[in-house]
Amino acid sequence: MGRDLHELLRSLRVWDPETTELPVFDPGAAPGEPLALFTEWFAQAVAAGQAEPHTMSLATADADGTPDVRTVMLHGADADGWAFATHSGSRKGGQLAARPYAALGFYWPVQGRQIRLRGPVTPAPAREGQADLHARSTGALAAALTGGQSHVLGSVEELARASEDAWERARREPDAPVPSWTLYRLQPQEAEFFQGDARRRHVRLRYRGTDGGWVRELLWP
């Protein structure tokens, strides 16, 4: 028989010194708005060797308020918001249509850091979504052309056939349109930056949007 789950959990360490270096974070020296700090921390995560730092958790809710979460890729972050993409007919696309509000979560364990954002989500103009898709790899276009995201699949063979057709078209037509492919932007109303500490004196800095601009405040860990 396999090992007991709880035994496995107790055997694990958080922020093992062999793989994690916890930077000192002075919240008093943080920029006045979250995008600047996000950009700084993202660059530091890349430099520290964090695997796939551009992946993030995306939390949404359906029309009844039932929550959902999955891992997606960050497509960009600027004054217009944090961007990600999906088919408008996918589960998350339907949830965002019903409740255009979401939360994002980044976790970078090599430095014991988390970033959380939440706020309203709006779809970008269709031309921007198509431009974003066509700037990516052939594989990304092929995946988008395969379609059917979140819908019931009859068999793995059906997927294989559709994928082969999509790859062939993606190679033949690198600008092939995918009308359902949508770029979304989350404009944060709140952003929290968490820096882990070996003595559990974690630093939590929250940016809260107000009519007068961003308010910075510390939170108990």
Q: Identify the pLDDT of residue 150.
A: 86
Long-range contacts of 34-41 (CB under 8 A, 24+ apart): 34/117, 34/188, 34/191, 34/193, 34/207, 34/214, 35/77, 35/78, 35/79, 37/193, 38/77, 38/115, 38/191, 38/193, 39/77, 41/108, 41/113, 41/115, 41/193
Q: Identify the pLDDT of residue 192.
A: 98
Report which of 19, 16, 14, 24 is spatially closest to residue 203, judged by C-alpha positions. 24
pLDDT string in tens for the chain (221-residue length)? 568 999 999 999 899 999 999 999 999 999 999 999 999 999 999 999 999 999 999 999 999 999 999 999 999 999 999 999 999 999 999 999 999 999 999 999 999 999 999 999 999 999 999 999 999 999 999 999 998 888 899 999 999 999 999 999 999 999 999 999 999 999 999 999 999 999 999 999 999 999 999 999 999 99
Q: Identify the pLDDT of residue 3.
A: 80
Helix, strand, or coil here: 103?
A: strand
